[in-house]
Structure 1
């Protein structure tokens, strides 16, 4: 759907719900990470691209002090609360993300807001649907109320909504990608100091495509293993006497972790993933800058998956099946994306092999008695923007 068509559809849904047109419609994309998983909260490097899929927020001012939230994707789960009464966890569920944004900006939200969200970023697929939601609302509130917030400040507002209000322990990768990405480029971001570069990524010109496979296995960043991995990284850094694992460049320097306690081997593996993943990001960026054949980055992507599977232990059997099937069908590289414990796989494939790789993966899912996965080709797309 075009931006204009998406804006009309979302505005019409708002009008049906609230009996008036919104003051504007804003959109923010999901993302897929070319390489660089679990490096952002360790101060490392990431290389995401924005998806063509977006979450849209139609917003209008109110004069009764209320925040009223409704979602096309969550019918019957509206939330209504006074802006002055917002507090972490109230409201919960999907509404916590936009509410968290308003809470972070509550001192600048006079009179209240009506917000309707709609979109097509797959939920729970490791493609940052929650960040797309938070970022679309953050941009909307900024523009609608004329707040003096630059792109970095918007990223921080969206991150705080997830970290502090929803209690989801994300880094800044997802929000940065949603706000900062540009069409036709991958975003090379140093999460320690915020420096960034838009790296041209025209895979089609090389006869290549990034194929995303949504396996249908969902995850929740606010619980479980993701939080555990972050704590393990913090403990590994402390044991090594550094603030962030980003400060370690040589994997050999991690060996003392093996003797750091009963779980020293676990901390070694977690830290080894982060240190080697940072190196993989730099390797991919160097290849893209030098205009080398992008096929050369395929083995680097696969190495990233092996590290996520074996050292970071965030893959699951169906994800591994998907990666193996894509590689066996001719993909140049494949790996899981996102926080792990489910979600999606990204594969670098020749353009004329998209259908055959998709068929091979679908067949492997059928043999495993799993529903057919959703697949689509990623075109590096624009970041958050106003539609109407």
Structure 2
């Protein structure tokens, strides 16, 4: 294994454990997680592998196989961390005195900038390995919560729980239904191949950087709307028409999206349970329009990907992830895959956009030990 060889070369011994955690794509339920709502992500085949040996002296040595110089970074103080190392050091910081230092090598194959949550994969892989090495007894959900706390409190990105939960709890061949308030979850069978379908990820190659910016602004707008409506979170709005009468401007639009998106998640799960996988496309389309018009987190590249995919024969499509770039997903009959790719690529060329990248996603296994 490449990461094990790199660990040996850098640190002179084999790692004590190696864990892999996947990225995720969200089928539906966007920007609902930090509103205590419902989400339906699934783990993707790409992820992050972490090889780790603990150290008693508090020193942290980090090596990434994706780093240009290929040299380990050594830290004796967690405040020295910067860039990608903050996600790893954040996990160590959240574990406090239970963990001293560590030698760590990281290898990742999550497509960067595609909105597939490489950061959550990195956090969950490291947290899972440390959980085993230090016999901490953390459940997969506790690992997800610790990883989220690292990203919120140490990195400074106010993300919800969805990405880390999908990375930690997903099962192969399933989508993960997660109630972001109760943290109750269950895996819902999502067998695309049995229905002659593929889920095509269309990576716009527009890299999104929304930490502390537009993402945080949307979250604040939702929290303000909930306060004005006298509810703990927008998930608790039961009379949407009445709520919209009491709100104005952006807060009104954000509320409309969150409430209707929660309904779409529940409707899509109902279709999956009924075996009507081919019928979920209309809900994907509706989700995209809401994200574009009510939540205002789409982009010209995402909109064009969705429109061109549907023209090319997709049963439904929408942007996925935080927005402002990243990826769209399209539910495509297998015999229409080439047509959809050609339609999107042609539309991008016509508009002078950078050529998109296409990935076929199959629901994969959550965090697991690999060596």
TM bucket (normalised to shorter chain) is over 0.9
Give the deviation of 1:26 after TM superposition. 0.6
CA contact (8 A) 1:199 1:289 kept: yes
The residue aligned with 1:79 is 73
| Equivalent position of 2:188 in the other structure | 199
Residue 5 of structure 1 corresponds to which residue in structure 2?
Answer: none
What's 1:154 paired with? Answer: 143
Query: Does 2:330 align with 1:315?
Result: no
2:120 counterpart of 1:131:
yes
Counterpart position of 1:291: 275
Answer yes or no: is 1:104 the counterpart of 2:94: yes
Q: Does 1:300 align with 2:283?
A: yes
**Residues of 2 paired with 1:250 and 1:124: CA distance?**
38
- How many residue pairs end up in the alignment? 370
RMSD: 1.3
Check if 1:353 corresponds to 2:347: no
Task: Answer yes or no: is the 8 Å Cα contact 1:236–1:257 preserved in 2.
Answer: no
Deviation by residue 1:95-152 (Cα, 9 ceiling, x = unmatched): 0001000001121113x20111111111221111110011110101111111121112
> What is the DSSP-based 3-state SS (H/G/I as helix, E as strand, rest coil) of the residue aligned with 1:364?
helix
Structure 1 contact 42–246 (Cα < 8 Å) conserved: yes
TM-score scaled by length of structure 2: 0.97
Whole-Å Cα distance in 1 between the matches of residues 24 and 239 of structure 2? 29
Partner of 1:145: 134
Q: What secondary structure sits across from 2:84 in the alignment?
A: helix
Q: Which position in structure 1 is the counterpart of 2:104? A: 115
> Which secondary structure does the structure 2 equivalent of 1:13 belong to?
helix
Structure 1 segments unaligned to the other structure (5+ residues)? 1-7, 259-263
Which secondary structure does the structure 2 equivalent of 1:222 belong to? coil
Q: Does 1:15 align with 2:8?
A: yes
1:39 to 28, 32, 45: 32
Gaps of 5+ in 2: none
Report the TM-score, using the length of structure 1 for normalisation: 0.93
What's the CA shift for 1:78? 4.6
Runs of 4+ that moved beyond 6 A: none
Superposed, which structure 2 residues align to 1:48-59 within 5 Å? 48-59=41-52
For the 8 Å contact 2:244–2:256, the answer to whether it is kept is no
